[in-house]
Amino acid sequence: MLGRLIRHLRAFRDDTRGSVTVEFALMAPLLFWTYCGGYAFFDAYRQSAVNLKAAYTIADLISRETRALNDTYIDSMYSMTQLLTRTNSPLSMRITVVRWDADTDRYHFDWSEARGGGIGAMTNDDMLQIENRLPVMPDEERVILVETWNTWHPPFQIGIGTTVLDNFVFTRPRFAPQVIFSNT
């Protein structure tokens, strides 16, 4: 009995007859889903990397400024971020100059400007929420903080939902002790 079962299993294993069409019909959905999934994951990674590089670029440009910034400058940085990210989804950006005060043992912000929908300028409550993400700094040291938010929509519905890509980039001013904002 067992020998006969083993013979039948070996015969089934060694049988090379079959239809390629049936095999393709069984494997095609899996192959198609794998291709779409790989494309979607790569697209999410690509958009995340592009957003991060754009935030670093904006932070670096602002860190090199020696003159006071104004609304027109911030608007142009927002436009440049939109150009660099090359996406049609909504983009928000907030630029803040943060300083450390050793006397009060707290971070404070000198100024903050936001562009795009859904986010406003930095508030004291916002500062308390991001304190643990800021670097350790000497007394009265300043950093330029650039935050960006962008919504990524998957190209295919394969189980990945819409995702908000956020970046948190800070850098020190390079050629001046601080970056000043002036509306005049």
Q: Residues 21-30: pLDDT tens digits? A: 778 888 999 9
Encode pLDDT of 106-135 as tens digits.
Answer: 999 999 999 998 788 999 899 999 999 999
Q: CB under 8 Å to 57, separation ≥6 — which residues? A: 80, 84
Residue 3 to residue 64: CA distance in whole angstroms = 82
The yes-or-no verdict on residue 184 having pLDDT over 60 is: no
Specify the pLDDT at position 3: 87
Encode pLDDT of 11-53 as tens digits.
Answer: 888 877 767 777 888 899 999 999 999 999 999 999 999 999 9
Do residues 63 and 172 make contact, with C-beta atoms less than 8 angstroms apart? yes
* Cα 79 to Cα 116, 127, 177, distances in angstroms: 10, 25, 26
